[in-house]
Structure 1
Amino acid sequence: MAATLEDRHVVVIGRSSGIARAVTESATAAGARVTVAGRDPEALAHAYQGNVRAERVDVTDDQSIAEFAQRLGPVDHLVSTASARARGVLGELDRAAVLNSMNTKVLGPLMLAKHLAPQIASDGSFTLFSGVAAFKPAVGYLGVAVTNGAADFLTRCLALELAPIRVNAISPGVIDTGAWDSLGEEGKRAYFDHFRTHNPARRIGTSQDIADAVLFVMTNPFLTGVTLRVDGGEPLT
């Protein structure tokens, strides 16, 4: 039987929208006490209307992570959704963008593990995020792919190093979080139509699809070292 989130302390690092918001709301609905954290805690507190505790943390700053850990107290489940995408073909990529991507999605979680592991419950968990580009390389996504691949491998390393704390990753496919709005209405529609008609699930994912997966890996006591692909079967095409 899966564990419960009733009265457990869940920490969600990320923005106040998209996947982080869906995870926060789902964990709260499951009975957890939730702390949300990011670079702008005031904005987070406003977005959630004071229903959760809001804290400041910058996952690219070790001092910020250390101070965050000191303020946080005991934690049952930690989820890091923070990311910075380095999209573009090889000729368009620059070192700073790729470093920022790795720093946010790989080194950030690594340092979170370093500073917070001593206060995560032994039957608790740490959930990271990889992504479909790690398993289906595509032109224009080199920086994203190497970052997600590193996050995938980090997950397995941490599962060994932090045991019995469970460490897993979620690998989303194309999810309608608002991240694609920059393509414009027509561009976004064309992009989504392509994936909707080509992936085996024949649909675009939602933030709730991902939140449901996060709650699953948090509450399954025999799941660790796994990257759960919630991608509509996209890598199969």
Structure 2
Amino acid sequence: MRVLLVSGASGIGRSIASAVVDRGGEVILAGRQRDSLDAAVSELGPGASAVTIDLGDELSITQAAAEIGPVDHIVSLAADHANGPITELDPGAIRKAFDAKVIGPILLAKHFSPQLREGGSFLFFSGVAAWRPAPGLSVMVTTNGAVAFLVEALAVELAPTRVNALSPGIVDSGAWDSMGSGKDTLFADTARTNPVRRVGQPSDIAAAALSLLTNTFVTGVTLHVDGGGRLA
């Protein structure tokens, strides 16, 4: 299994990369920051390599497709947040958010679908925010929600290539560490209200991602791996 993993150098993406390598597969880490990619490749070992891709730059995607060649699966976890009150949002930040979650995945499908091997698939990441709107998160809600509709459209257009989405909930991936003590409060509140009574771990998401990549009878779905967080 040869997997291109966009924005997979840390957190959830790194867990997916490790899972692929542990199964004897090959992972190609992609992103804008080559230093962090190379560091991750060094730790993952001979089953990993890196390529530079900026989802806001179609030329970089074209060049990467030519460099990489045939692959089995494309996974994109890319996100670029534009959070804040709607009256204060910057148009440039909004466009970057859509580049990461919507336009970028469309361009990945455009340039990589011709070179996916038989049985291959795309897996794009949505997020629980799309099903739990909150003030200040309008762009995040919209971009994550768009992913769910995008995979349905692409599953039909690119058939028999499979296209799916994965929507994580609150996961202890390192993304919340900058909150300081606020992280503990968030996690405690999440564990109290989630039906499963805990926050997620990167391994939870990696296991779900591998399932979507390998189950050849699943396409056009958004798998919610959020501990029931969207229901709370």
The residue type paired with residue 84 of structure 1 is D
Are the equivalent residues in 2 in contact too, given 1:93–1:143 (CA < 8 A)?
A: no
Percent identity, aligned pairs only, is: 47
> Secondary structure at 1:203's aligned position in 2?
coil
Q: Give 1:152's match in structure 2, choosing from 143, 148, 151.
A: 148
Question: 1:235 maps to what in 2?
Answer: 230
Aligned residue number for residue 101 of structure 2 = 105
How high is the TM-score relative to the length of structure 1?
A: 0.93
List 4+ stretches of structure 1 deviating above 4 A. Answer: none
Partners of 1:154 and 1:139 in 2: CA distance: 24
Kept after mapping to 2: 8 A contact 1:42/1:54: no
Give 1:141's aligned amino acid. L
Root-mean-square deviation (CA), in Å? 1.2
* Corresponding residue for residue 198 of structure 1: 193
1:5 corresponding residue in structure 2: none
User: What are the ranges of 5 or more consecutive residues in structure 2 without an aligned counterpart?
Assistant: none
Alpha-carbon distance, 1:150 to partner:
0.9
1:137 and 2:130 equivalent? no
Alpha-carbon distance in structure 1 between the residues aligned to 2:52 and 2:95: 22
1:181 Cα deviation from its structure 2 partner: 1.7
Residues 215, 15 of structure 1: CA spacing in aligned structure 2 closer, same or farther, 3 A cutoff? closer
- Give 1:54-69 correspondences, 5 Å limit: 54-69=50-65
- Paired amino acid for 1:9: R
Q: Select between 21-30 and 42-51 the one with higher mean Cα deviation.
A: 42-51
TM-score, normalized by length of structure 2? 0.95
Query: In 1, distance between residues paired with 2:108 and 2:61?
Result: 6
Mapped partners of 1:78, 1:168: distance in 2: 11
Matched residues, number: 229
Tell me the secondary structure at the aligned position of residue 53 of structure 1: strand
Deviations 1:118-170 (A, max 9, x none): 00013111100111111121222111000101111111111111111100000
Name structure 1 gaps, 5 residues minimum.
1-7
